[in-house]
Structure 1
Amino acid sequence: METASHRALSRLAQTDLTLLILDIHGHIIACHHGHLLFGEQQTRELLGKHYTSIYPAPDSANVLDLALKADLSGEQARFESWMLGKHNRRIRLEISVHVLKKHDEHAHGYAMILRDMHLNRLTHDRLRESERRLRLFMQGAPEHAICMLDPHGSVIDWNLGMRRITGFSAEGIVGHPFSAFFPEAALSTQLLRSAASGSHIKAECELMHASGLRFPAEVEMQPVHEGDGSLIGFAVLIHDCTQQKLMEHRLQEARSQLVHAQKIEAIGRLTGGITHDFNNALQGIISSLELGSLSLDQGGIVQARHHMMASLHTAMHAGRLTQRLLSLLRRHNSPSHLISVSKVLQSMRELLGRTLGDDITLDVSHSDELPLLVCDSDQLESALVNLAVNSRDAMGGHGHMRITCRPCTQDDSDVRVAFGPAHSTYIEIAVADDGPGMSEDVLQRAFEPFFTTKPEGYGTGLGLSMVYDFVAQYNGAVDIRSSPGAGTCVLLYLPCDSAASTETMPLKNASPAPDLHGFHILVAEDNETIRHSIATRLRQLGNEVVEAASGHEALSLLAGGASWDLLLSDIDLPAIDGHELCCQARKQLPELRVILMTGYADSEWLEDNALGDATEALIKPFDMGDLLTKAQSLLQPAD
């Protein structure tokens, strides 16, 4: 069996020490790594000589006895001496002697280990210098947070950069576990475990500041190993991402402002056409009402009804125009939802008809059945406005524009762009014109922000860039096909929602008049004409209706002790708005049903801030049928 001394000598023999094997009388019988202290010739000459020939020492005869005595007590004989090495260099040695034993525990020789203390001191000094330089580097890089961890994850070194971003000094943190900086200690454990497996780890997370606040950071962790592969700790580099996140937020804000500026530009281009359309609508309303009044004076009830319905139809058309404009003007982006592309195209046809001018023919066509898209309908409308106005300007106000829509896949021969792997079916929306087309140079730069071929003051160069960003946001693709003299076609490819069924276009059947009577209703509206017309229609159905011109008046009536069934209020009331009126009314009458009306395009706000199942939203302009349907759904819910 190998003794502990043999195992120790085996390990020592693998180092840069010089090892002499002596027989029981002290003669050298083997020399390992002798070239470290002696020349090769001198090393060979040592064999067979007594160990005392290596160096002069007055007490040398006692070395072996000292080794035997030390072995009995379980220790080593260790002392220092001088000798002449190779090149006659005087060397200070550290000498240790181990007793070699047989199985019967009797000594049969000795192992003498010689260490050049000068070399050892140089190595030690170099290590200290290396450590000093490392510390200077760590402390001299205050912009970089660096720390060292032991194998168990406790902090053993901490530089000024770590103090700067965490607020903790080295004195207060060295010796503490690194997990103390994580709001969730499990993440620290996971990082250490992954790094210990030999991986370089990088993760974004939140860390704790000395003030108790959290801050975003990027943590890099690298395992540190000894020469034999054993883990001795971890090197950690931390980057404070606060400024980066702030810049990303500011960039997003700037992007939002650019989107809004682009929408304002689109509105400016649309103003002329919309004004023309809206004035036409007002003229149609006025003319129809005048004709209806004359027909009544002459006893023509049928003719009067015809003119009244024409006036109603024209008024609803004008209302849709204003809603489109308000939708484009909204500063925020509405959340993504399932949209019907065909419905968007139909509504945009109304908006673009007059904008393009009488000298531009607009054709809109699409497949009968189209899959639904998951995207922001306002952004899609804005993109179509930009493409249509660009085509109009390119054609100089004269020409033919086509907007087509169809489903497609990557395998279609006409598709020239690459789709992502996440979706198999896409909707292709193509906007084509017969304008002058683009040169190859212009085509290559078409999507660059602020690039435009229009004269100064006639465009920002953001239109196509915003269209590209919108499509990319939903993992789609854009293609432009154009050449000089052959017109331009811009194709948008948007992925379909695989879980949504193909859209259908149900017919809107005429609904019977609602059975709505016997209820106590309060109408709060500061516009007298609107308030009186609503109240009159509700009274005609057999309801008791009270009118209020302000929020304060409505609250006074609600507090009068009567039993109220429904509050129908405009949001934009003087002093107390409709939302606040609803909240205060519910404190007195928790079961009160409420319909909130508004003339602004803020239906999303109403939906996001709904006050429960007992509240409905109604966007002006609306017809009485919509109002009565919502009132009936609140007052007479289906079983």
Structure 2
Amino acid sequence: MPKSKRRILKAPKRGSSRKPSLELAQLFRVVARTATDAIITIDERSIILFVNEAAQEVFGYSVSEMMDQEITMLMPDYLRQAHQAAIGRCVQTGKKQHSRTALKLTGLHRSGREILLEVSLGEHVHKGSRIFTGIVRDITDRDRVDRELRQAKDRYAKMIQASPDAISLRSLPERRYIEVNESFTRLTGYTAEEVMGKTPSDVNLFVETEWHRNTLEKLQRDGEIREQEFRFRPKGGEIRFATLSAVRVMLDGQPCMLSITRDITERKRTEAALSHLASIVESSDDAIVGKTLDGKIASWNLGAETVYGYTASEVVGRPLTILVPAEYQDEIPEILERIKREERIQHYETVRVRKDGHKINVSVTISPIKDASGKVVGASAIARDITARKRTQEALQQSELHFRSLVHDAPYGIYRATLDGRLLQVNPALVKMLGYDSEAELLRRNDERNIYCDPQVRERLVKEFWPKKDFQGVEAAWRRKDGQIITVKMTGHAVLEKDNSLAHFEVFAEDITDRRSLEKQLLQSQKMEAVGRLAGGIAHDFNNLLGVILGHSDILDQHMGANDRLRKSVEATRHAAQQAAALTAQLLGFSRKQVIEPKVMDLNASVLEIEKMLHRLIGEDIELVIRLDRNLGYLKADAGQLSQVLMNLAINSRDAMPSGGKLVIETAHVELDDTYARQHLGARSGPFVMLAVSDTGIGMDAETLSHIFEPFFTTKETGKGTGLGLSMVYGIVKQSNGYIMAYSEPGRGTTFKIYFPSTEESLPVQQREMEIVGGTETILVVEDEPALRELTCTLLEDSGYIVLESSGVDDAIRTAKDMQRQIDLLLTDVVMPRMDGRELASQLAALRPNLKVLYMSGYTDDVIAHRGVLAQGTLLVQKPFTRNKLLQKVREALDFQAVSSLN
């Protein structure tokens, strides 16, 4: 430091008037040397002019190191500029700096460590210069201790406030609240302001005031109380339970009570619940058993005594295996391992054994038991005897399996549906009936929208059925998946909920489509049969009359000259009789009473034979298409009848195509299966020769189609059709053991399909036609119709034959007995009163073994033929017959039987 700067600290010259100043300076040095606080003096430039030894302890520098240095060396860098600014302001303003209150400033120790300083400042002027002196005290440690005390107080305050227990401080003996924490306010419902300065009695906190008084006396006597249970009443709440622990303390010389209150309401409730649960466990009918992890029985309730038959004293401490049959012993280790893994086993069904040795079925729920630390120390098992229930279940399952089997295998459709038509359950028969692929697919449908053809039918059914709760035999039309309509007959009943509301319907459905179809076909067949019998009866009598007309026409024609003016009348009479005969032949064909001679035929050849005729028949505006199966095979039928079938069907098609069209005739070999045969009355399975005739005509509706085979039914105008064409086709097909079906829709044409049984027989060899000649043999004529009998005898006599005439069977038998001459041929009617022609021939054959027989009839009634087919070796001339036909058949009979007798 410059000498000028230090001069102010030197003593005054001897003899000077400043002796007191020297004494003061000496005093200052003594004070500064002995002071425990650092004393530092600086000038206006912040140069240290004086520093005592105590400063060495504060800042770590020696006195010599600090002298003549700037005071900023003892400050952190960030304070130096502020210090210089403050000194500058003091110098400029001339304002004195005196600090009666110590300042807290940060200093810098020689080690670089910042220290907290408490500084008191003063100044004086010396020779015009301002001198600043500061007393500096290091308060770093004191500040740290104060801070730690404050932190400790804050921490303890927070701990008290954060405590879950209610903590309060009350004065003694006044018992007034001095301090409470937040848990106290939560527990009691009172705020701190509401209880401060008040006693518990002031807020009516304790339920038992006597208990409170006794507790305070104990505190005063013993200085503390521990875990005292009591009841208290929170603000506006229900009474709760708590424990009180307290100590007596002295605060500022005043005795006080520091108490901790803990709410145990939930614990008390839990204890009550546990006590209640214990009573339930003890009185439970279920066996409740405690067990250790090594499989020992630890507890045993009364229910266990009932279930297992042991008393608690008999089993507690014994291994659990005494309850387990030998074949179930392996369960126990596994169960114990699962318990150790803290698993809970629920409703485990097994078998246990009673004390008496009987095995029982039990349902067991096992739960792990843990100690306070959460460690598994055992298990509790609740077992219920389900032996009776298992037997019931097994019986029920057997019953259910039986029922399910019945439902699953039932041939009838069975389903459950809600009121709005939602299907709940269906069986396989219903799935098959409706043509679906699976039950799941059908269950996605709604019976009202997807099954019933007319939803209103179901709606009406539900309305009528719901009040009665069941129905039987109700028929409805259903729609299959493929769109096909079927008829079903249903029986159902309602299943109700407990409140009598509808749960669902259970319905049994039978597909009666085939039955209804067969019934319709049967009714049609019966009707056709009845009409056929009527037609056959008419034809029989009519043929007799026509035979007389034709025979006498032939006689007249034979005796007339070539130019006789009556010849035309005779021809007209014969023509009319022949047309009438054709009409009766159609009637007999329909009734299947016409006698035929079926032969093995090639259907393809028959079609080709009449192809030209068909072209002329249908006209040029109709295209004829013929498709023949080369591998057709043969059938057995009457050739003439087969030609009639083809022509009648062609005519029917022609009339259905007035504006032209296409007529297709097809043949094919087909195999009809059992399913087709079951669905079509009159059809049977096997190989068939099929003839199909199709047209592109106007077609027919279902009503018209149902009548087409009835005699005299026609859709043509009056006088343009007899109505016998298709009925004759029907009769011929049936008589040939065939089957005919018609398919038609309005505007889409018609197809007839005829199925003739296929035969393995070969085609017959063609025979040469016999020459018509008479003879001299004796013929016994038996006919109950006088006119026809007389005519027949005349025709035979005119041809050289000797004729014996009989009006009936009795007359014929007498003649055969009485006549001495040989009778060569019996010519007899088939249908006669009292005895038919076959019986007559049998009786006469006994009298005359070599008698030949020729039957004549237009209506055999299966006497000499089966379904119109003559028995083998039987000859017949059909009424009405002409002279030539009669003579041809008589000659054939005489010659054929003569050859047979020779062989």
- TM category (shorter chain) comes to 0.3 to 0.5
Higher-RCO chain (CA-CA 8 Å, sequence separation at least 6): 1
Bigger CA radius of gyration: 2
TM-score under structure 1 normalisation?
Answer: 0.43
TM-score under structure 2 normalisation?
Answer: 0.33
